[in-house]
Chains A and B, each alone.
Chain A
Amino acid sequence: MDEISTGLIQAVWLIASLDPEVMEIAGRSLAITLASTALACVIAVPLGGLIHFQDFYGRRPLINLIQTLYSLPTVIVGLLVFLFISRSGPLGSLDLLFTPQGMVVGQTVLILPIIVGLTISALGGVNPQIRETALSLGATRSQAIVAIVGEARPAVLAAVLLGFGRALSEVGVAMMIGGNIRGYTRILTTAIALQTSMGNIELSMALGIILLSISLVVNLLMARLRGD
């Protein structure tokens, strides 16, 4: 109990005093996660739409595969991306290993399946009458698609938010691809892992609370975006 309460107090103190290293780590966490979420979003939402609106052979197995990848372990993504961007790997010349850019790539790979899969589900959940009504009112096929996508917007935003949460909270990719380098690739989750292994339980707790606070703020912002 003692550790939990001192952790809470220390978290409040670290936030209130704007501890420079903690602010820097929190800022980096947010920047990397936003970048990977945005990158994943730009790829995944159109891709999800394509899979939903096109009828092609193997569509159902493909969706099954995407949904299976929801449970892709973060360390496996870390390992795969590591093997690609290591200097001995096929993309070694890009020098992405142990850089923030490499972490963005890794996290993007991690959350792509979730956003693609849930976008497909979101579009599938739209009442089919909307499409028919739009078409019967003289809309072109692409106008009908826009109407359906607009209808599915809240569910797609929820998918993006879930992807953001998974990227913000994961530690496997960040550790393997980032390497937890102080002042360069250290983010909240890897800092928590390090502080815990060094026996600084209160500081770990405090960093965890800061991570949740970031998630809360992003959630509130997204709620406003959804509400308008």
Chain B
Amino acid sequence: MDCRTFKIALSLLGVALLCSSAAADGDRLRLVTTTSLYDTGLLDVIKERFEEKYNVTLDIVSKGTGIAIELGERGDADVIMVHDKIREIKFVEDGHGLERRCVAYNYFYVLGPASDPAGIRGLSPSEAFLAIMEKGRNDPGNICFVSRGDDSGTHAREKLIWKDVGFNASEFNRSEEWYTEAGTGMGATLVMANEKSAYTLCDMSTFMAYQGEIDLEALVTEGDELLNVYVAIPVSPITHPGVNCEDAMNFVDFLVSEEGQGIIGDYAKDGKTLFFKAAGNCDIIGCSPDICAVPTSGCPAEA
């Protein structure tokens, strides 16, 4: 490598660094969110309206609930949107999150092939899971269940339903042919379940987005076990100095405002509603009035 090539490399480096840092000015708010809220396009709409109102750039990182909470615990997120009540409460109790606010909900569906070999149509979610397991054990060639297996909110719900009917899902995988862990996002899991004509648990919005591309049908759509509540939590600046608390609070307040709730409730794709607003539905979704779609109590002073 002679001097000339070296100089070219150096000047390229300069130009590229200039390019990549040009956009880095101004305040940024980092939201780490569960994939279903992002992949449906809802957060793109919210981002646009939120940025119009507040002078801040909203950076949306879309991951599963598990990694979103992990990033919150490390102080790498300013605000998180997730759907796993047990871990959310722990996140706040451990001092990583300031306060939970229920902002939206929809339902999980139990999907399966139209032929429904396990006969779950019309059963309750727990009965359906039990039927899939019992019949799957007898006929693993025809009846199987694909689990997310990625520590996401949906995976947590699967495990909760298995626990309800008396089983520990982590003991299934090693020995049982009918149970598969995909270890990937909802979309990829749907594609896999579709290829295998398997049963799977899926949130309503992702299922709607994939309708037409997959043959699986929603066989069980009702039951308390299928309620799916999305929550926003600002990360605590006391535990994690340096997080952008003020804008995080503004963001959560925007979500629970009339405007924010309106965007969530009205958001539709191809004429189909994907999410319901939390405001006015607090009883249905089991969120107490003090955390259900009400404004936050503001930022505490940094320690």
Q: Does B12 contact A (CB under 8 A)?
A: yes
Bound-state CA distance A31–B240 (Å) is 32
**A197 and B187 in contact, given A32-B16, A101-B21, A150-B2 (Cβ under 8 angstroms):** yes
Given A87-B74, A199-B187, A157 and B5 contact (CB-CB distance below 8 Å):
yes
Q: With the chains together, A104 CA to B15 CA distance in Å?
A: 13
| Residues on A with beta carbons closer than 8 Å to the beta carbon of B59 | 98, 179, 181, 184-185
The chain B residue with its CB closest to the CB of A28 is B20
B30 within 8 A of A: yes
* Partner of A199 from B35, B63, B210, B243 at Cβ < 8 Å: B210
B131 within 8 A of A: no
* A34 at the binding interface (Cβ < 8 Å): yes
Measured in the bound complex, the distance between the Cα atoms of B60 and A181 in whole Å is 6
Give per-residue flags for A180-213: 1 if the beta carbon is below 8 A from chain B beta carbons, else 0.
1110110000000010111100000000000000
Residue of A27, A92, A93, A179 with highest tally of chain B CB at under 10 A: A179
- Within the complex, the shortest CB–CB distance from B133 to chain A, in Å, comes to 28
Query: Using Cβ atoms and an 8 Å threshold, which residues of chain A touch B187?
Result: 197-199
Q: Which of A31, A95, A179, A181 contacts B20 (CB 8 A)?
A: A31
Q: Does B127 contact A (CB under 8 A)?
A: no
Complexed CA–CA distance, A196 and B15 (Å)? 32
A180 to B5, CA, bound (A): 32
B17 within 8 A of A: yes
The interface residues of chain A lying within 8 Å CB-to-CB of B35 are 197
**Distance (whole angstroms) from the CB of B8 to the closest CB of chain A:** 8
Interface string of B237-258 (1 = CB under 8 A from A): 0001011000000000000000
Q: With the chains together, A179 CA to B209 CA distance in Å? A: 23
CB–CB B76/A153 < 8 A: no
- Chain B residues bordering chain A, tally (CB within 8 A): 40
Given the known interface contacts A98-B59, A157-B1, the answer about A42 and B13 at a Cβ–Cβ threshold of 8 Å is yes
Give the Cβ gap from B126 to chain A, nearest Cβ, in Å: 29
Q: Confirm or deny: A149 has a beta carbon within 8 angstroms of a beta carbon on chain B.
A: yes
Q: Report the interface size class on chain A.
A: 35 or more
Contacts of A156 in B (CB 8 A): 1
B73–chain A nearest beta-carbon distance, Å: 8
Given contacts A32-B20, A35-B20, A88-B74, whether A41 and B30 have CB atoms under 8 Å apart is no
User: Quick one: closest A residue to B235, CB to CB?
Assistant: A87
Q: How far is the CA of A157 from the CA of B30 in the complex (A)?
A: 39
* Interface membership of A169, Cβ < 8 A: no
Q: Does A219 contact B (CB under 8 A)?
A: no
One digit per residue, 1 when the CB lies within 8 angstroms of any chain A CB and 0 when it does not, for chain B 216-241 equals: 00000000000000000000000010
Q: Which residues of the partner chain B approach A41 to less than 8 Å between Cβ atoms?
A: 9
* A226–chain B nearest beta-carbon distance, Å: 10
Tell me if B188 and A38 are in contact (CB < 8 A). no
* B274 vs chain A, min Cβ distance (A): 14
B19 within 8 A of A: yes
Given the complex, which residues of A lie within 8 Å of B44, measured CB to CB?
182
Residue of A146, A182, A225 contacting most chain B CB atoms (<10 Å): A182
In the complex, the answer to whether A149 meets B9 with C-beta atoms within 8 Å is: no
Beyond known contacts A31-B19, A197-B185: 6 more, CB 8 A cutoff: A31-B20, A98-B30, A182-B44, A182-B60, A198-B187, A198-B209
Interface string of A55-98 (1 = CB under 8 A from B): 00000000000000000000000000000001110001101011
Chain B residues 191-227 with CB under 8 Å of chain A are 191, 209-210, 213
Q: Is the CB of B12 within 8 A of A34?
A: yes
Report B2-41 CB contacts with A as 1/0, cut-off 8 Å: 1001101110110111011101100000100001000100
